[in-house]
Amino acid sequence: MDKNIAILEVAIKEAARQGAHIIVTPEDGIYGWVFTRETIYPYLEDIPDPQVDWNPCADSGRFGPTPVLERLSCLARNNSIYVVANMGDKKPCNSSDPRCPSDGRYQYNTNVVFDSEGKLVARYHKYNLFVTEKQFNYPKDPQFVTFNTSFGYFGIFTCADILYHDPAVALASGFQVDTILFPTAWSNTLPLLSAVQFHSAWAMGMGVNFLSANTHNSTLYMTGSGIYAPGGPRAYYYNTETENGHLLVTELSSHPRLSPDYPAAVDWKLYASRIKKPPPNSHYFSGVIYDDLFSFTELTEPEGSRAVCQQNLCCHLSYKMAEKQKDDIYVLGAFDGLHVVEGEYYLQICTLLKCRSTDLNTCGEPVETAQTKFEMFSLSGTFGTNYVFPEVLYSGVQLAPGEFEVLTDGRLISRTSTSKPVLSVTLFGRWYEKDPPHTEQASP
């Protein structure tokens, strides 16, 4: 852990030198992740509720041995910067608590925040554990953790939490935080769920600043960190070539909702619901994206309009390719249903995407490069949800800042010809009301 914290220390000092007020470090960045419940236990610390008003750097030992908390606190204090880090919390329990695990303790995947004087100001226990996190317990209820600073109102959650309503959506739309802090260890799942693509889209769809710090491990497809604003990405990093980390520093509006260019509210189905529903089409075919069965229709012409429906969702696309490359096959796809692999959540998705090869059976499989640029595109859908996240991804898994916008009638449109070839253009809808209840892990 000392080796890992030493790496974080270099980044923290450099961020402070560049004038940053706050730094976010990755999920699992201090102790890694290949653990059982027993093997992670020595790395856990008993992290008190921030209400105890504690500065570990100035008052070490007050809550027993807490070397990681003390070191993080001193890094914040000595560099006059807020530090966000991910670590493990342990809480003893006994048989009077029916949820208490048999080993007599809860273990939580935990984010901590220290202010610029080293005081512990926030503690968050991850609510939506990924399926592989058997070393941790689910907290009984979701925690809505916020804190105020002179540079904005912050909320915090972790990795898979972004896929669910609580606490993520509640913090952004209910608590109206300015900025989300997001440690993550995110495996890129193309074509629709790579880190930079989905996290930037969530920031735009929810109208918040979003600071995403991803672990870098190419063998596990983990790369892609970013600083995202409601209007688009401000800085991001995606690199599968090396194992080097990278510090991102940029300036954001402290209170984006107050800025004159804050995006207006969108009626996501307005435009598409005015278009006559297309007749059932014999040219539809099926394809799988991340275990979900999409309905596809091929874009056989270099320009035109296409529609595809599944269940209650109809997706409409108008487009013009700059010069269609013969090896690039594009489809328009729709999915309206419950995703059930590595988590259960209800999706409505409209997507224009490039197939992995000229074989239509590869449509929906991960692909990282394309050759075809688009002069224009306009994508819309008859969404039943107000929570839709707009994604535009270019060849090389690159974002498209400033090159597209969302109209208040629900159209995702290009502003200019695309500067790079297109991998996908997607409206990623989440219909939270149709989700099954939160799965509480059976206690061991």
- What positions carry a catalytic annotation? 27, 126, 159
Encode burial over 23-40: b for 16+ CB neighbours within 10 A, e otherwise. Answer: bbbbbbbbbebebeeeeb
Q: Is 393 helix (H, G, I), strand (E, B) or coil?
A: strand
Residue 155 identity = G
Which residue in 259, 222, 234 sits closest to 26, CA to CA?
222
Alpha carbon separation from 432 to 136, 142, 289, 315 (Å, rounded) = 25, 15, 20, 20
- Structure tokens given for 284: 């539809």
Sign of the Cα torsion 348, 371, 189, 281 reads positive
Q: Are 412 and 352 in contact (CB under 8 A)?
A: no
Half-sphere exposure of 307 (CA within 13 A, CB side): 15
* Ramachandran category for residue 47: left, alpha or beta (phi over 0 → left; psi -120 to 50 → alpha): beta
The contacts of residue 432 (CB under 8 Å, 6+ apart) are 164, 165, 169, 345, 346, 385, 387
> Which 8-state DSSP code applies to residue 217?
B
> Which 8-state DSSP code applies to residue 261?
T
* String of DSSP letters for 310-368: ETTEEEEEEEEESS--TT--EEEEEEEEEE-SSS-EEEEEEEEEE-SSSSGGGTTS---
Degrees to nearest 5, angle at CA 236 with 356 and 202: 75
Whole-angstrom distance, CA of residue 145 vs CA of residue 183 = 14
Alpha carbon separation from 404 to 122, 215, 393, 399 (Å, rounded) = 36, 28, 11, 10
- Structure tokens given for 12: 């923290």
Which H or E element spans position 154?
strand 152-156
Q: Give the residues across from 179 on adjacent strands.
A: 154, 209
* Ramachandran category for residue 61: left, alpha or beta (phi over 0 → left; psi -120 to 50 → alpha): left
Question: End-to-end CA distance of the chain, in Å?
Answer: 27
Whole-angstrom distance, CA of residue 387 vs CA of residue 389 = 7
